[in-house]
Structure 1
Amino acid sequence: MNDSPAILAYIASALFVILTVIHTVKKGKDVQKTFLSTSFFLVTLVEFFMGRMLSSRTPAGVMLNFKLSSAFAIVFPAFSMPFALALSKRNYREIYEKFLAWIAIGIAATAIAAVLAPAGIFLSEIHFTDSGRFWGISFTQGGKIFLVYLILANIFIMFFLENAYKAASVPGKVTLKYPLLGIVSASIINIVILSRALALSVMDFTSIAIESAGFIILAVSLLYATVRYGIFETHLYIGREAATSAITVTISALYLLALGIISVFARALNLPFDRLTGTVLGLFAVFLLVAVLVSGRAKRRLKQFVNENFYPASYNYRREWRRYSELMASSTEVEELISNVISSLCDTMFAKRGLIWVDVEGGKSDSYGFDHIEISRDDATAIIGLNEGKVLRTTKQRGVSFIKRKKGSADAPSAEVLERFDWIRIVAFIGRSGQPLGFIALGDKHINSNYTSEDSDFLATIADETSLALENLLFEERIIESRQMESFNRFASFVIHDLKNTVGMLSLLIENAWEHIGEPEFQKDAVET
């Protein structure tokens, strides 16, 4: 036996230190970032003290480090669950305000429990090898309650993030894709390890090492998403149609049910528990496979998933047309439309980078695969100048020949513009009747393949759809403005009519005052008027 389990725990702790620092020092103060950074810091402490526990050679050292690691693990859901619940919601500040009291109570209760709890509240026995190294721990009933708490926290975090991903916009889905993969992987590992410890009442050093490896996977996916997409810097929001999904809760419940049933039969029949995890996972996998084979709908979805994600060369873009039509129809603002279009296009066509620009209100743009890119009207004019009456234009090799103009041309782009946009490989122009209103530009593909005629047809179709959607949005804005003007005119007419009646009454009052100013009754009526 060596110190590999402790090293894995320390590596996980170091990676989460880096995540904590990155998201703490970034510019801007936001309650979501505070909750996220705090969650990362708590995982750092959990893994650090878990590594110290694995390195301990005495029962007192194991007990102390386990208590400290458990205390921070109990506090972790108080920050991570509200973050997952509020992610991608416009009213996230209100959600956090509702949880502040609960978080304060949780932290205070945990601190008191960590200080006052007796040493054996969680652990009944600590195991060492013959050489004096840490081997494992046995749990009491209190320890099993602690394991159940951690399992439920993992399930709820996955449930909240599942619905956040489902309800997020297209840029939000692209941003959350890799973090969600890491979170799901780490949560599955945690649930399997914790449920095994719950069934056997024992957790050995191998299980703890596997759990630390799950946190390393999570940290790597978060670091990659932070560098690649600027994770959680992207504005996420819930779309018009947001239905709650409970896939993670259902699968977790079925797994725990299978674990419980097998544990009961194993104890009743005095069967060995040394292969409990493999048996449960095997039977659960068989159950899912049978469910897929029996359900035609599930079989079709599995086949579609395999074809779309593992056979990109044979992917049929025509299947995406309806989805893009619904996506564009659901966009209520120009910014939302262009953001959805470029993110979804790059994700569908495996493009590394993309840029969209439309000539609306001085020019609006959005990008994919860039940390930040500025495009001026002159830059946009240079790219639109490639149109020459064609919907599409494919560039030559990897040079900048696509943007070169004839010598002496007044609108020839500068060398700086040529260098900035030499990544463009294909351009689709947005507009109708030969008048470009913007463009969609894509770079190289992730799979290192060239754009095909099918790509060109699909991109041209999306450019036409975007043009129609853009015109509809602008038309809707004009309708809203005309209705506002109509309402204002009606209100103004009412005010003018009321003023006219008032002036008429005052005029009649003045005329009558010449004759009846001295009469008390007239004076009373005049004051009331």
Structure 2
Amino acid sequence: MNAFGIASYGIAALSFLVLTLLLATAWRGRQQGAHLIVASGVTAVWAAVLAVQSYTGQVSVLVIYLAEAIRGGAWLLTLVAVAGIAAPRTLSMAARGLCVLLLAAAVVLPLLEHFGIAMVNPTLLLSRAGLALSLLALILLEQIYRNSSQVARRSLKFFIIGVGTLFAYDLFLYSQTELLRAVSVDAWTSRGILNAFAMPLIAIAARRNPEWSLDVFVSRQIVFYSTTVLVIGSYLTVMALGGYYVREIGGAWGNVGQIVFFAGAVVVLASLVTSTSLRRHTRVFLSKHFYRNKYDYRVEWLRFIGTLSSTDEDDVGRTALRAIAQIFTSPGGFLFLSDETGKKFLPYAAWPMSIDSLDLPASVSAEDDLPQFLARKQWIIDTEEFRRSPDFYGNIAIPQWLLDHQQLRIISPMLQLDRLVGFVVLYDPPPPFELTYEDRDLLKTLGRHVATHIAQQDADRRLAESRQFEAYNRLTAFMMHDLKNSVAQLKLIVANAPRHKHNPEFVDDAVATIANTADRMTKLIEQLRGATSADRHVPADLRELAQQAVARCSYRAPTPKLAEGSPVMVLANAERLSVVIEHIIRNAQDATSETGTVSVSVRQNGREAELLVEDTGAGMDADFIRNRLFRPFDSTKGAKGMGIGAYQVREYIRLLGGDVEVQSSPGQGTRFKVSLPLSRTQDASSASPADAVNS
């Protein structure tokens, strides 16, 4: 049993099995992709067979030969498919012919041996087949590279390096076998590890060649940590060999020297692993040499959105700066936003420092070169590049306070619908950093997103303020409506006074009306002051309230008539509900001629109290009832009306847990029905509006 061989080929089998699964799930039906999947799968099986051979030592040379032939043939056919018409026709035919010949040999030679015909030494047969496959594969790789364009070479180089590594090592192995007439055990067992090292290169090549219809995703984090583990393992192996050498030549001090050597190696390893600078350089190296894109945009965008939507800070500007800076590992920055006039840009936020701690100008005029350039060109400005080549930026006059700070590196516009609403200034990210086209495109996208985000926050703030003003204006309109009704009653008394002032009954009614108006205005003042007792709901007799409203409306024609009935108790503010009923009756009177009728009735219907106000007036059509009757500030009375009476009626009735239903048609009159829940307790003298709704 060869433990190293088991581990070596086992790792190779697992690596190519993972690659096969990745390729199979990402395959989109193209021929090159199918060949690559088959070659990867065959390599996984080949490595598994050799791992078993290392474990048992009982796998025959013929089986190993067959595994080698199938694995080499699969890769040859893959190379032919990738080369396509670029490879000479004779070379493609030779590759296919060699595959057929090697497979035929695996069948024919055992048959010849069975009939007593001597066959070639199995080891030499294996080595010569391997040499033929290796040479032809390397020639095909050279043809692929030579006949590809400069652009294609950048995406094919990892494929050529990966597959070339496999067959270059095979060429070395079998050449050595031919010379020594025996297979080197160390070279044979090391072959699996080398194949495993080639797997990531092939995966990256598949990712970089979309024409193969393979969309393989190799996580940068996995590559980073796999590389880290590989480097650490290699380091520990070298240190182990070094420690062994120290012990061997150290004599009496050999063991002590080995311990000291290992301790120093561990300290160095710990220093390297914890080095932020080394990790950053490694990530940059991997992104630059193994990926088409500098950033893993899925990871970066998810992190950006997560930071931007976090509630760690109340200041949306600081959160936005942190979200941008962390992508480029910038230590911080600050943000200027346009004021409401659009004539200047003001310091808005900074991160991680406070905006007040920075020596920034009070404002930057929108007419200055910097804002004008950002608005016109929408470019990202690299101050380091500007210092070297100001003509590249049209020799604009960047503020001196920006150029004096060497740490300020990036100036990025914030655009909303191609309008400059601000700009971000970031400190120089730690090296190695080079502002590439990817950084510029990403900064433009982030700037637009942040500009929209801040604009949305500002719009939400303005909307909240608008709603506060709306609530205040609505309250004012309701108060004015109540005052208008009170003034109308007083005017009616004044208008009738010349004719009836000597009538004692008129005087009594006038005094009662004035007292009622004064009481209503007093309660209105209490409501304006915010007195809590002004809107408390208590049990009230709906019929009695209707009778009071009918009495106050009896001075106008047609005189409303209240039908007989028994008391019906509801939970409400008696004064406000009486005003609501009065408003419904007055609207009925306004819509009905003096010869018409207005009738009022109160009844109990199950667990509800119902107030009906019916008239024989002009009526309304369905469209008016549906779209205009209850719309606030929409009046049919011209300058005399405010358009909130019906709306006020419905809102208060709904506050009490009831509803309003209107039935009408033009020329047929109107039927107004108010439904309210019955009062369940007679002594709920301090019930709140919420209690009333839940009753």
Q: Do Structure 1 and Structure 2 share a fold, with TM-score over 0.5?
A: no
- The structure whose Rg is larger is 2
TM-score by length of 1: 0.41
Q: Which has the higher contact order (CA 8 A, sep 6+)?
A: 1
